[in-house]
Chains A and B, each alone.
Chain A
Amino acid sequence: MVKKVLVSVLLLSGFSFAHHGVAALGAAGLEGPGAPLETSSSATLPEGSWLFYAKLDHVKWKKYSFQDFPDQKDSYDFWMYGIGYGVKPWLSLYLFVPYYVKKELKSINGGPTQGQYSYTNSDFADISLMAVLGFKYDKGFKLVPKKESLDDLMDWHFTVYGGVSLPTGNPNKYDRTRDPKGEFEPDMSTGFGKPAITLGFTATKQLISFPKLTFVFDAKYIKFFEHTYNFKEAPDSPRKKYKFGDEFRLNTALAYRFYTNVEKKFRADALLETNFQYNQRDKEDSVKLEGSGGKILYGVVGTRLYYKNISIGAGIKVPVWKNLNEESQQQGGEGKERYRFVLTISTLF
């Protein structure tokens, strides 16, 4: 490794459960609550219905002088393919299959004056399973019923959700361009090696007095576990252990329905979100790692379009405030993005 402290916190786009933003069937889709891009809403899938979902989270990293950072993250593409099923009106199950493309620009032989080469690691990442339990407040708390009117949809709705990723991705792929034994860069891998656990809570309210506006709140905690990699610094040294810092996220969002065409079954929403994220430090061989972790507040602006049973969302996400632990060392870590472009498409049957 050229510079160990450059190991950043892992971008866990794939595991986070952003709301499917599904175009609900009938009037509910055209006039019901809106769905943000990054903030999970409290919508559950109708009983017996299938959701198909795809998402791209394209991250472009800020880059600096190669004198200061001989190796720099260039861009990450987090593709996510998902399928969901409404087991009950109040219980939805999801399976997510992520595919990651991670690009890094690295200095030849570690010397910035000799030029750079591009290292890309792309593969399917850890699949994840998610269960979402929906409930609402309507003269008391109750599970989401099978059928709700537009007026029912304006009640406070909530979900609690939990998920687990399975270590199906490969955590042990290394760049061997400069070093035959490879370079240890867990954040460039496409697997964690261990399951990760997500627990979350959402609240959604479509305003009765102004139904074009929907407020969404989402809080989640993501727990990672230490994984022992195949990598050894030397043939007789122990295998490397690495644990990504746990994450805590608080998201809020407003969705404003600015256009509806009932005849064409088309709807357009404007989206505004704030996503706060606290990342613990990563640990390497049980030692807290410099150049990782911190607090970031993202702003998201976007739109979501609904046509019949299809929903397409797109938006730009940028860090608007950050307090990283060692900001000057954290190129390629969350908070140091130039921008993130988020695109989702989902359909319900």
Chain B
Amino acid sequence: MKKLLISFLIPFGFCFSHDLWIEKEDSQYILYYGHLHPTQNEERFIKYNPENVLEFECLRSDGKVIRKKFEESYPAKLKGSCSVVLALFSSGFWTKTINGLKNLPKDEVQGALESWLSYESVKRIDNWSEDLKKPLTQDIEIVSLEDPLRTKVGDKLTLVVYYKGKPLKDIAVAYDEHTIGTTDNEGRINVRIRKNGLQLISTSIKEKADGVKADYVIKTAILSFEVK
């Protein structure tokens, strides 16, 4: 990510159409890509290349990393008892051409219209602590200001979007891929929990890239937790 020329930020509407989520099974966490709630003609799981998983970490509730090593397979697996799990994923370069969308950099296709490099990160919370009211990374991240695990269907949750450790204003936030608004001057937004089970709340930004391999970089951050 750092290699890319980052010159400006653009609040970005949701053009991504795939979910990234972490499921807990016994004593391990599994990273999935696809559609958590598939509609007709959508697949729930989309197989990815294990190399797409850049980071998959187990953290304590104070944000300290316990384990970084994960099973580099499809799907990627992380063992341990974690309060928070973080994953960073990249599906690589995408280029829109006159012949359709290609999973290649701009300089490797003919007739490129626009191209981007896609990064997606997911933060799953399984145990809450006050330390989680602050961002854990310098990347784009959604932070909850209250314990999301105590919420019930119908409750609203106040979230803050951070980037490089600072609140990000006017950035769109989606619940289950449905945009519900943009953040205020303090980076805050309220989101209502609509159903039980695994929650996915996401936001995304677009940054200018080098223009050779990609015109811009799209970074998506997802906050995930279970409501019982």
Contact = CB atoms under 8 A, between A and B. Distances in A.
Given A151-B191, A152-B190, A146 B184 contact: yes
Interface in A149-177: 149-152, 154
Given A145-B184, A146-B184, A151 B179 contact: no
A154 B184 contact: no
Contact of B181 (A138, A151, A208): A151
Query: Which of B175, B180, B181, B192 is most buried by chain A, counting CB atoms within 10 A of its CB?
Result: B181
B189 interface: yes
A146 B185 CA distance: 9
A149 B154 contact: no
B181 A149 contact: yes
Interface string B4-33: 000000000000000000000000000000
A250 interface: no
Interface in B33-69: none
Contacts of A149: 173, 180-181, 189-191
Nearest to B172: A27
Contact of A208 (B154, B189, B190, B191): B154
A28 B184 contact: no
Nearest to A155: B156
A26 B181 CA distance: 9
Sorting the interface of chain A by its residue count into under 10, 10 to 19, 20 to 34 or 35 or more gives: 10 to 19
Contacts of B156: 138, 151-152
A298 B71 CA distance: 69
Given A149-B173, A149-B190, A151-B192, A28 B154 contact: no
B90 interface: no
A26 B171 CA distance: 13
A141 to B, nearest CB: 16
A148 B189 CA distance: 7
A208 B192 contact: yes
Contacts of B144: none
Nearest to A145: B184
Contacts of B192: 151, 154, 208
B182 A151 contact: no
Contacts of B190: 138, 148-149, 151-152
Contacts of B189: 147, 149
Contacts of B185: 146-147
A27 B184 contact: no
A146 B182 CA distance: 11
A37 B179 CA distance: 28
B193 to A, nearest CB: 9
A28 B179 CA distance: 10
Nearest to B181: A149
A150 to B, nearest CB: 5
B181 A152 contact: yes
A3 B175 CA distance: 66
A148 B183 CA distance: 9
A267 to B, nearest CB: 15
A138 B155 CA distance: 10
Nearest to B191: A151
Interface in A102-146: 138, 145-146
A149 B201 CA distance: 13
A149 to B, nearest CB: 3
A138 B157 CA distance: 11
Indicate the member of A26, A27, A28, A154 with the most B CB atoms within 10 Å: A27
A79 B226 CA distance: 55
A24 to B, nearest CB: 11
Interface string B175-209: 10001111111000111100000000000000000
Contacts of B191: 149, 151
B142 to A, nearest CB: 13
A251 to B, nearest CB: 28
A27 B154 contact: no
Contacts of A154: 192
B181 A150 contact: yes
Contacts of A150: 179-181
B219 to A, nearest CB: 21
A147 B184 CA distance: 6
A208 B185 CA distance: 26
A7 B5 CA distance: 77
B154 A148 contact: no
Contacts of A27: 179-181
Given A152-B190, A154-B192, A147 B154 contact: no
Given A26-B182, A145-B184, A148-B181, 14 more contacts: A27-B179, A28-B181, A138-B190, A147-B182, A147-B183, A147-B189, A149-B180, A149-B189, A149-B191, A151-B175, A151-B181, A151-B192, A152-B156, A208-B154
Interface of A: 26-28, 138, 145-152, 154, 208
22 contacts: A26-B182, A27-B179, A27-B181, A138-B156, A145-B184, A146-B185, A147-B182, A147-B189, A148-B181, A148-B190, A149-B181, A149-B190, A149-B191, A150-B179, A150-B180, A150-B181, A151-B180, A151-B181, A151-B190, A151-B192, A152-B181, A208-B192
Interface of B: 154, 156, 173, 175, 179-185, 189-192
Closest 4 CB pairs of A and B: A149-B181, A151-B192, A147-B184, A150-B180
